[in-house]
Amino acid sequence: MDSLSQRFYSVIPAGGIGSRLWPLSRADAPKFLHDLTGAGVTLLRATWDRLAPIAGGERIMVVTGRAHRAAVEAQLPEIRDENIVLEADPRDSTVAICLAAAVLRRREPDVIVGSFAADHVIRGDRLFRSAVQQAIAAAEDGFITTIGIRPTEPAIGFGYIKAGESLGIDGAESAMRVDSFVEKPDAERARQYLDDGGYLWNAGMFIARADVLLDELRSNEPELHDTIVELAASWDDPAARGPAVDRLWPRLKKIAIDYSVAEPSAAKGRMAVIPGHFGWDDVGDFASLAKLNSNGRANDLAILGENARVLADASSGIVVSHSNRVVSLIGVKDIVVVDTPDALLVTTSENAQRVKGVVDALKISGRDDVL
């Protein structure tokens, strides 16, 4: 392990429920606690296993909700107590990542933090680690660094990063300046981005020196920065943490780190991007999940679930079976069937993005028991 890696600390925000994967993902069984690839491990555990070789498992911090503490500890029995940051309630990604960075900076002033979602699927761990190594070097050089995924198709479900000039950083040979972040495109624009070659998928990975990250936050969201830093000051004092959380947590602004840090930083030319050549998917909805599990064969029926009992005739799409019921499909194409003990979803790949609307409707109608 080189000396830079020794300064590296991974942060895994494990917060989102993944409403677009309801009724599989839900409040008490969020997406990161599921095995969505049939690999036999949860996405959270796979994320840990991917990060541990970089700086060691003792240098991985997980930020999660109080309700998920036991589940996270069950998944990650080797995690150190001080590396579990419990959120009183969800405050979006700026708080999750910057609070971790602020706590870690107090412990190690020159720490380099890297934040990686708990619920993404990555294939090609060696390529991933090599990209992270370069990102660490670029971060040491003062850049807030992201890893952008080289597109393999004209995806419309992801945001993009427009890469600029090469930065010529030692140990980060492929680092480029981030020209800008680009919203999810329409199909035509996605095709242009793919053809252009200068656009990468925004995978939400951020690697930076903690002090650089927090400075950037201060310049854009000074109040939020100060509250986070104040909270971090009490974090490692058992007597002080509780009162500090009670007092400060309600003040924490909910804002995605894209808006509080990444975009403003890019606008100032202070962001770098390392192109990642590994396979990546945020498994944002059941259409992605179907694709991920069909091994690229269209007209295939992907089946997810340890004890799935599925009988299918002339059907394609995906069945997620979390019950022991017999599931029979006849002549349904691109179907999405998610079968759980208390809720059933039937839709199509085409409509996968609308699943969140059902969750919203269930909330409104007071049927929280199945959320």
Binding site residues, its own copies, CB under 8 A: 23, 309, 311, 313-314, 325-332, 335, 337, 339-348, 350-351, 354-355, 357-358, 361-362, 365, 367, 370
Q: Which residues of 28-55 are buried (b: 16+ CB within 10 A; e: fewer)?
A: ebbbbbbbbbeeeebbbbbbbebbbebb
Q: What is the 3-state secondary structure (H, E, C) of 213-277?
A: HHHHHHHHCHHHHHHHHHHHHHHCCHHHHHHHHHHHHHHCCCCCHHHHHHHHHHHCCCEEEEEEC
Quote the least distance from Cβ 328 to its own copies, whole Å. Answer: 5
Of 219 and 328, which has the nearer Cβ to its own copies? 328
Torsion of CA 329, 330, 331, 337, to 10 degrees: -20
Of 80 and 354, which has the nearer Cβ to its own copies? 354
- 329's CB contacts (< 8 A; 6+ apart) are 301, 310, 311, 312, 313, 315, 319, 335, 337
Quote the least distance from Cβ 348 to its own copies, whole Å. Answer: 6
Of 221 and 334, which has the nearer Cβ to its own copies? 334
Of 174 and 349, which has the nearer Cβ to its own copies? 349
Quote the least distance from Cβ 326 to its own copies, whole Å. Answer: 4
Of 13 and 284, which has the nearer Cβ to its own copies? 284
Of 182 and 358, which has the nearer Cβ to its own copies? 358
307 secondary structure, DSSP code: T
Quote the least distance from Cβ 331 to its own copies, whole Å. Answer: 4
Of 245 and 370, which has the nearer Cβ to its own copies? 370
Neighbouring C-alpha atoms within 13 Å toward the C-beta of 101: 27
Q: Which residues of 190-219 are buried (b: 16+ CB within 10 A; e: fewer)?
A: beebbeeeebbbbbbbbbbbbbbbbbbbbe
Of 87 and 339, which has the nearer Cβ to its own copies? 339
Quote the least distance from Cβ 308 to its own copies, whole Å. Answer: 11
Burial of 150 (C-beta count, 10 Å sphere; 0-12/13-18/19+): middle
* Distance in angstroms (rounded) separating the CA atoms of residues 174 and 172: 6
Q: Rounded to a whole number, what is the distance in angstroms from the first to the last CA of the chain?
A: 44
Quote the least distance from Cβ 150 to its own copies, whole Å. Answer: 32
Quote the least distance from Cβ 200 to its own copies, whole Å. Answer: 32
Quote the least distance from Cβ 367 to its own copies, whole Å. Answer: 6
